[in-house]
Amino acid sequence: MNSLNKNFFIINFILIILIGLFLKNEYYLSLISYILINAMLASGLNILLGYAGIISLCQASFFGIGAYLSGILTVHYSYSPIATVFIGAIITFIVAILIAYPTLKLHGHYLAMATLGFGMIIYIFANELDIFTGGPSGLVGIPYFSLFGFEFDTELKNYALFAFLYLITVVLLELFDKSFLSYDFRFIRESEHASSAFGIDFHKEKVILFAVIASFSSIIGSFYSFYSQFISPTSIGINYSIEILAMVIIGGLGSTYGGIIGAIIISLIPELFASFEDYEILIYGGILAFCIIFFPYGINGIFKRLKVAKN
């Protein structure tokens, strides 16, 4: 890790420990857990969009596949929670491969619309397959996550679980950022024709990356379903995919922690503007437009400019 990212990781680690030790209010622990979930989802999309240039409006759908599969398998078929996490990730990987192979031949708004269409299909399935999903009312009775007899049945335990997953995500992001793969995908993003001339099978690499990030989102969805003990179609709709996209753009594309910064900002909007709930989407849109116009490289871009100015 470079010094800036190492400091960022250390600060995150210290804050997580301090919160776990001293914050006892269950509401705020729940809010922070939600922020960590969003941060992980945004970080995954940041790799797709920021590094590979893949516009995806269906990340909430992959999140939902994992959540629903874990819920259905534990509620209806009594599977162990940890087994459903892996099953969900594998099935999501296969589904993502099948979706990505044709759609990633598209570019720009055509690709965005294709992924949006897939997201709508998953939303419809969640609504209509009520014998499994509970329909619009949602799936209830999902058990808490448990491992080797230890049950994550309190806010503090779940916070510790999500904090652990989040720290792993930060480390994986840093490893990816410094790996040759990140440079491959940056090359592909800038020019697919040039990357092909250098022997890079850009379509294959993009399909695999898309599927890996989809599986990652599925894993987060599985843990979310155990945490909330409930999942409904509104939890995985297009609005959530747009929120995740906004987190990435506001935080800063192609940076290790841009999605994390954006997740904090977007996750706090419902809390800060609780009195304007009916205008939530308008507020999201206004903040997103403001950042695109005045901070095109996101919050992370501001930090980079300050660092350059300091040097």
Looking up tokens 């040097």 gives 311
Question: What's the pLDDT score for residue 298?
Answer: 82
Question: What's the pLDDT score for residue 181?
Answer: 86
1 lies in some domain: no
Here the CATH number for the domain that contains residue 185 is 1.10.3470
Prediction pTM value: 0.92
From CA 17, how far away is CA 10, in angstroms rounded? 11
45 lies in some domain: yes
Task: Report how far Cα 57 is from the mean position of its chain's Cα atoms.
Answer: 11
Answer for the pair 59, 241: CB distance below 8 angstroms, yes or no.
yes
Other CB atoms within 10 Å distance of the CB of residue 172: 14
Q: Which domain holds residue 161?
A: 6-309
| Ramachandran area for residue 261 (φ above 0: left; ψ -120 to 50: alpha; else beta) | alpha
Question: What's the pLDDT score for residue 5?
Answer: 62
Q: Which residues of the chain have pLDDT under 50?
A: none
32 lies in some domain: yes
From CA 237, how far away is CA 150, in angstroms rounded? 32
- The total domain count for the chain is 1
Question: What's the pLDDT score for residue 152?
Answer: 96
Question: What's the pLDDT score for residue 309?
Answer: 65
pLDDT tens for 241-270 read 999 999 999 988 877 778 888 899 889 888
101 lies in some domain: yes
Spatial CA neighbour of 89 closest among 240, 233, 232, 211: 211
- Residue 176 tokens, joined: 């990816």
Question: What's the pLDDT score for residue 146?
Answer: 94
